[in-house]
Structure 1
């Protein structure tokens, strides 16, 4: 994985919903007289109004930009926090429009420079998707059936963190300095405003307290984690029967039927006939417009050599095969030999929300010489894989954006082979380090969290970390690390896992040429095995720590993924708390 060849393609929905409750519980007193005696700033905003602007923007990194984005609202004496959030997001939307126009105006000759042409085209896609998603988010503000404010803040951070990645990584794949600078310059305002939104949302409880929100509202901020319901559900996982007791009945029946072999799918794919389609791509094209509920695709045993994408319009696709190693989806796209952008190397890309896969192998056969060569890429929020194998070398699993869960999977690779900017939890899985090229090392993870208050990171829980047979005799010669920090606030946790003797005692590797080891968050908790000894961990990592049970709980599924809210509906078994 090259640091400048990562692409993020996020979605946004629910960005503004926090404004509804804020507006309901707080009407800012924008008062003050309109005459000179009341005092106004250079923009004609009264001193009283300016105080509220300052309060709202106090956690923003770019305070002047924040103030300018909401200054027109400050003239309104009855403005609410909802109005302020509307103004801030609308200003971001306008800035993204301008960024997109810069990308549109950047023309690259495809014949003379095919790689940078592809990179710019990808950038246009990313920014256009951001525009559409920001527009869609405005439409949900009036939704009357909303969760608690605390739930919405977490959701907002999930989506806004992806929006930031949308913009900043748009340019990471561009290699031509002239094109790169043009796009970056055109995106400055948009990235700053998105950065501000993340920081304000992350501190929303403090913002509300600054405006003297009532105790009832403050209680809502902390309800989720400590509720009796949440605590009870920590103990009700029924792994023997695969499904937690509180699963929706329809989903429990669906997955139970699939396990018994008598599930009736919407479509069947069979390479050798016997189904409606011979290709997975063909089956996905049958996805009905305005489909509601799960769309079930059964892929029979066989090797499917095709590049597959589950588009954003294809929500709640459940795809299952005859088992990993039997149903195989394979490709060999790569960066080094083919000059393909990292995201476009993916053999399988899941974009539609709520994608679930079971019993399938996702494979990229480019080999270590292909460098970036993704087997499975997901920018599907609330997605889950179970009983799957994800096979490659460099950049095997790309947890692109949003919340993702992996259970009972086998994931193999060499350099940065589990990487991304989303929020991922890999549970009860086998992580296999493979033999890299000569003079290379293995890094299992490379998280790309860029802002301190954004959401993002990867957790390996109750996993086994082992070498493949080709690496085994060389496991002490070829260095293998838990990971290295792709971005400044890279967050990675290895907990309750069995670590083989292949792991370097240093545990973690710095990213050469950067100083991310000063700010990244690398944690371990209750690991076992010969590689679990932490006494010789790399001291260059200033914030490395061995956690206790209270701090480690933050990284279990219930809190890390807000799992109670969505994971049961995927039909995938999971432990919501500790596994041991």
Structure 2
């Protein structure tokens, strides 16, 4: 996300603070405008802003450094303190790299990844020092989801940094980073999420007529060509033209030399500086054995192939052979507005490779159509920000759809493969760590079935819908066809030491098939939820699509495809 967008979001929050502050002063009794009025109004502002925080004592201690009757100053304090904590963590990771970077290859990878992730967090928070700018208060609702999206990504990076230190020899450095800086990053960003999430409630409680439910396109409504109706006319036309052979790409990749490039990475690196609009790369049929990173400067990139059985990007990096999970990805994209169509991403390390990512997606507003993600453990890493998948095939064994993103997977085939000896299968492992992170994994109108490799053993190899990777893990299954391979209990704890079952949210609505029977689901799962509750995880209430897609009025019920 660019600093300009973040800055607009922060200034909008601060603008809300101005309104709240004004109302607080106006509504204060006359005797509160005496010599003690400043203190009383200040306390009212702090109490209002902390009311949505689980740790109100911490909230008050952070905000108490600001002596003001204007809530905008308190919000600015939280944002600035969050930024300071991330910078401290970045500097510490830099120092620890000098001190411990040569101790092992794994340690160096973990510390280097930490620095990259914290740099991304700094990028998300770079507008923390932006002064309050003039804004129309009616615009607040159009940007609040952007702010929560940004804050959720910061938590994702903080957690991913810690995830990288996963061997006994690395634990001491992990503990030092955690206790001296990263725990504070998580607490402060969580507090910022709490306060931002509470602002809408405060506005509603003050009965301000700000049209808090704007018109928006429903992410799940599909047009007659099979594309979501929120899709811009230009992008829909572009994809239709791809299908009809009417697109002239900026770059063509072909292994036989019939294109400008023989490798996908070279084509991506041909992206011109300051390019405007979509940059289109066509990858002809072939198996491309290469590791690819789309960096954040290459925005609005579209890569398309000849179909996921013909155009295949492959690799086999894996944790068992010494590569950190984040670095095992065959294909990674951290750029905004990335789109892929008719391509397969695979990791062929097999079950014995343990964590082995085929596709890692970090960039905001990423979209995948008619693609395949093939692997075993950790196939699809939905790392951060908002992501949409349609008509895809995703295969794997353990936690093969995992991450910290706001993810919607629609009309796709979820194929569970045969795991290694003494292993079990889990489809989803979501990393939502904070109560108000706007993140989780939603599967809607998909088929969850055994891969042919598992078909004969599907009733003896245990397979589960999800397990809670982090404290507030969220997985929602809506209108799917679920095969008989799923265990009746549906869900299992993360592990014995960290079950993460107290605050996780696992829910189902409108599913069919033998595996959808929810009468024996794990007691910590929500089980079957109401239509009203399920609606929160479609379109605007869940993905808040109007924050990043063109807005238009669409009936709410169109979010459900079957019910």
TM-score (norm 2): 0.89
Contact 1:65–1:193 under 8 Å retained in 2 = no
| Partner of residue 123, structure 1 | 114
The 1:552/1:360 distance shift into structure 2, 3 A limit, reads same
Q: Is the Cα contact below 8 Å between 2:49 and 2:198 reproduced in 1? A: no
After TM superposition, the structure 1 stretch with the greater mean CA deviation from structure 2, 103-112 or 449-458, is 103-112
Is the alpha carbon distance of 1:533 and 1:23 closer, same or farther for their aligned partners in structure 2, counting shifts above 3 Å? closer
| Mapped partners of 2:123, 2:549: distance in 1 | 26
**Partner residue of 1:550?**
532
**CA 1:256–1:143 in 2, change beyond 3 Å: closer, same or farther?**
farther
State the 1:205 CA deviation.
2.2
The equivalent position to 1:54 in structure 2, one of 30, 41, 47, is: 47
1:247-302: CA deviations, max 9, x gaps?
53322322221111120111111111121211111111111222222111111111
The CA distance in 1 between the partners of 2:494 and 2:293, in whole Å, is 31
Preserved contact between residue 12 and residue 137 of structure 1 (Cα < 8 Å): no
* 1:94 equivalenced with 2:84 (yes/no): yes
Q: Pick the aligned partner of 2:544 from 547, 562, 572.
A: 562
Q: Residue 102 of structure 1 contacts residue 182 of structure 1 at CA under 8 Å; is this kept in 2?
A: no
Whether contact under 8 Å (2:156, 2:383) holds in the other structure is no
Task: Tell whether the 8 Å contact from 1:62 to 1:192 is kept in structure 2 after alignment.
Answer: no
Secondary structure, in 3 states, of the residue corresponding to 1:101? helix
Find out whether 1:164 has 2:155 as its counterpart: yes
Deviation sequence 1:227-256 (CA, Å, 0-9, x none)? 4x65xx689632x32345665332232222
1:451 CA drift (Å):
1.6
Report deviation, 1:136: 4.0
Shift of 1:408: 0.4
The match for 1:237 is 222
Runs of 5+ unmatched residues, structure 2: 552-556
The question of whether the paired residues in 1 share the 8 Å contact of 2:220 and 2:539 is answered with no
State the alpha-carbon separation in 2 of the partners of residues 246 and 69 from structure 1.
40
**Which residue of the partner structure matches residue 554 of structure 2?**
none
Inter-partner Cα distance in structure 1 for 2:134 and 2:347: 42
The answer to whether the 8 Å contact 2:306/2:343 transfers is: yes
The Cα shift of 1:21 comes to 3.6
Alignment of 1:54-453 (within 5 A): 54-71=47-64, 73-75=66-68, 79=70, 81-106=71-96, 107-136=98-127, 142=133, 144=135, 148-174=139-165, 175=167, 176-187=170-181, 188-208=183-203, 213=206, 215-217=208-210, 220-221=211-212, 223-224=213-214, 227=215, 237-238=222-223, 240-243=224-227, 247-337=231-321, 339-453=322-436
Q: 1:492 and 1:243, CA in 2 relative to 1: closer, same or farther beyond 3 A? A: closer
- TM-score, length-normalised on structure 1? 0.87
Q: Distance in 1 between matches of 2:514 and 2:56?
A: 50
Alpha-carbon distance between aligned partners in 2 of 1:246 and 1:413, rounded to the nearest angstrom: 30
Judge conservation of contact 1:417–1:445 (CA < 8 Å) in 2: yes
Q: Kindly tell me: are residues 108 and 389 of structure 1, through their superposed partners in 2, closer, same or farther at Cα, counting changes over 3 Å?
A: farther
Q: Relative to 1, partners in 2 of residues 1:234 and 1:165: Cα closer, same or farther, differing over 3 Å?
A: closer
Q: Is the 8 A contact 1:202 1:454 kept in 2?
A: no
Per-residue deviation at 1:137?
5.9
- Distance in 2 (CA, whole Å) between partners of 1:340 and 1:108 is 21
Q: Is the 8 A contact 2:318 2:325 kept in 1?
A: yes
2:328 touches 2:357 (CA, 8 Å); kept in 1?
Answer: yes
SS at match of 2:464: strand
Q: CA deviation at 1:564?
A: 4.5
Distance 1:125 1:12 in 2: 21
Residue 115 of structure 1 and its aligned partner are, at CA, apart by 0.1
More deviation, 354-363/527-536: 527-536
Aligned length: 542
Pair 1:151–1:418, CA change in 2 (3 A)? same
CA–CA distance in structure 1, aligned partners of residues 197 and 384 of structure 2:
18
Hey, what's the Cα distance between the residues in 2 that align with 1:524 and 1:433?
A: 19
The alignment yields a C-alpha RMSD, in angstroms, of 2.8
Deviations 1:178-214 (A, max 9, x none): 211211122233222111101111111233456xx45
